[in-house]
Amino acid sequence: MNRSERTGSAAGFWSDTEKGGIGAWLLSTDHKRIGLLYFWSVFGFFLVGVVLGLILRLELMAPGRTIMGPDAYNAFFTVHGVVMIFLFIIPGIPGAFGNMLMPIQIGARDVAFPRLNLLSWWLYATGAGVILLSLVTGGGPPDTGWTFYLPFSGRTATNVSLAVFGVFIVGFSSILTGINFVTTIHRLRAEGMIWGRLPLFVWSLYATAWVQILATPILGITLVLIIAERILGVGLFDPSRGGDPLMYQHLFWIYSHPAVYIMVLPAMGVVSEIIPVFARKPIFGYKMIAFSSLAIAAAGSLVWGHHMFTSGMSDTAVLVFSFLSFIVAIPSAIKVFNWISTLYRGSISLDPPMLFALSFILLFSIGGLTGLILGAAATDVHVHDTHFVVGHFHYVMFGGAGFAFFAAMHYWLPKFYGRMYARRPAVIAWGLMFVGFNILYFTMKVLGMKGMPRRYYDYLPEFATLNLVSTIGSWILALGLAVMLVNLFRGLWKGEPVTEANPWGGATLEWTIPTPPPTENFAEEPVVTHGPYDFRGAGIP
């Protein structure tokens, strides 16, 4: 990754190396380099996950056995889920774009604990390595689903312990990132960067970091308990020995529901940055958006039980969790309304980052509304564990957080690479992905409504047509991804050089420093005098 000769004098943090070679990256404590390390590793795992997803869809293309048997299918959807959740979408935006941008956006030279930051990435890489190791050693890839439900995960002969241990390590990395971000945002804001002037991306990372700190330890202990069950046979969740499997589900979802906010809050932050810049208007309702991030994080910690409506909880618990789940929809809707209001009468330019941000709003809204169907206990009983659920969470995680990740790539990567991708292929890729996505996952919702269960490798003949349509959608989506990938690669390596500091006309601090940013970000400590969406204050007409 030696780019210094290509970008010449404006090479910024790329060229500044005391230690040369790969070590200058793997041992760097510069938040921008760590951010790029995260970016490429996370993106790599996304591609692995996509290939696994496409294989799943191929199996479901036609009824009966198509390319694999039931055991292989179990392993494939488990690994697909584990990779997508723990290695892509949870660490994705905070690890990659949070690291790259948050210190710059608050006017700091780095995060509060730079070496801890590097350790976080190494823990992520180690955990990912252990997870990969679990696929090829022991009894073969885990087949429990990414939720590792006990008692089954205590008994299966596949390599669950190692995979769970890998997830534990990745969780530790997530906790350390959270601690680092909270401390940084509290301690290292530049002069004039009062809380009311924090970019909304920073606000969303702040809320996310608290969720990472408060929820991940519960996942940690839950994973430890799975390993203990497997090695010692304690029986804490085994009804035959006095345990209660429902307790496992409680502990698991106390983390894993808030985890969806670790996925989606930073994505909302990205969208809140992009919409005002490309609508050329200050964001509407800054305070409400910032506040709703905190509200989502807080209220979202109380609704885990909606994953367990059919597991045998008491009716009271079902009622309470169902009610609370509806409450979380309010702050999410506040955000959507504020984005729409920002767009209203804006002079909108449909550049690639904006296209992805707009599709986030639409896809996330569809995902969120179908979430209400799952949050209402009565309707959830009908669609529980069907493809409706698979459709719902792909809309939120992929259509939401995934598309926001792509938006962030198209918005910020040129800033860090100093080169621009081509615009037309980017738009074509977006179009293919958007169309393919909806064909792929909307049919899943319909299938689920009709009663096709999830995690089954086979289905009744009456589901054949829709499944074929869904698989065709997955190919269109994959084609779009490939176009996006090639375009991005070409752009970042050989594209048109960007040397101006502010190609999109943003008013946040990262656009005030050179492209690519210098190692210490700011030549002198910035003094902030206007808000992040005050384009006139920033001198942008």
Partner 1 sequence: MSHATHRDYAGAKLGMWLFLFTEMLLFGGLFILYAVYLHRYPAEFAAAGHRLDLVLGTANTVILLTSSLLAALAVTAVQRDEGRVAFRALGGTILCAGLFLGIKYAEWSAKISHGIYPGSPDLAAGPPGESVFFGLYYLTTGLHGLHVLIGGVLLTVVARRVKGGRVHAGDYIWLENGALYWHLVDLVWIFIFPLYYLML
Can residue 279 be called a binding residue for ligand HEM (CB under 6 A)? Answer: no
Q: State the Cα–Cα distance between residues 216 and 213, nearest whole angstrom.
A: 6
Site for ligand HEM contains 42 (CB under 6 A): no
Q: Does 233 bind partner 1 (CB under 8 A)?
A: yes
Kindly tell me which residue out of 71, 462, 496, 525 binds partner 1, with binding defined by CB under 8 A: 525
Rank residues 288 and 329 by Cβ distance to Cu ion and give the closer one.
329
In the bound complex, what is the minimum distance in angstroms from residue 403's beta carbon to partner 1?
Answer: 31
Q: From its phi and psi, is residue 242 left (phi > 0), alpha (psi between -120 and 50) or beta? A: left
Q: Could you give the CA distance from residue 380 to residue 477 in angstroms, rounded to a whole number?
A: 29
Q: Work out whether 374 is an interface residue with ligand HEM (CB under 6 A).
A: no
Q: Cβ 129 to partner 1, closest distance in Å? A: 23
CA–CA gap between residue 43 and residue 35 (Å, rounded): 12
Q: Which is nearer to Cu ion, 68 or 302 (CB)?
A: 302
Q: For the CB of residue 68, give the shortest distance to ligand HEM in the complex, in Å.
A: 12
By CB under 8 A, residue 167 contacts partner 1:
no
Give which of 379, 287, 284, 288 is closest to 326, Cα–Cα: 379
Using CA atoms, how far residue 233 sits from 150, 159, 229, 312, 359, in Å, is 12, 16, 4, 24, 48
> At closest approach, how far in Å is the CB of 189 from partner 1?
10
The residue assigned the tokens 């808000």 is 531
Nearest approach, Cβ of 478 to ligand HEM (angstroms)? 6
- Size of the chain in residues: 541
Beta bridge partner(s), residue 453: 386
Contacts of 155 (CB under 8 A, 6+ apart): none
CA 313 to chain centre: 30
Each residue 104-143 as x (binds partner 1 by CB under 8 A) or -, in order, gives: ----xxx-xx--x---------------------------
User: Burial letters for 107-138: b for 16+ Cβ neighbours within 10 Å, e otherwise?
Assistant: bbbbbbbbeebbbbbbbbbebbebbbebbeeb
455 binds, among ligand HEM, partner 1, Cu ion, none (CB under 5 to 8 A by kind): ligand HEM
Question: Contact between 103 and ligand HEM (CB under 6 A)?
Answer: no
- Please state the closest distance from residue 82 (CB atom) to ligand HEM, in A: 8
What would the two tokens of residue 540 be? 């942008």
Picked from Cu ion, ligand HEM, partner 1, none, the partner binding residue 56 (CB below 5 to 8 A depending on kind) is ligand HEM
The site partner of 498 among Cu ion, partner 1, ligand HEM, none (C-beta below 5 to 8 Å per kind) is: none
> With binding defined as CB under 8 A, does residue 523 bind partner 1?
no
Count residues near partner 1 (CB under 8 A).
39
Of 41, 363, 332, 360, the closest CA to residue 170 belongs to 41
DSSP character for 511? Answer: G
- Does residue 251 interact with partner 1 by CB under 8 A? yes
Residue 220 binds partner 1 (CB under 8 A): yes
User: What residues line the site for partner 1 (CB under 8 A)?
Assistant: 108-110, 112-113, 116, 175, 178-180, 182-183, 186-188, 190, 213-214, 216-218, 220-222, 224-225, 228, 232-236, 241-244, 247, 251, 525
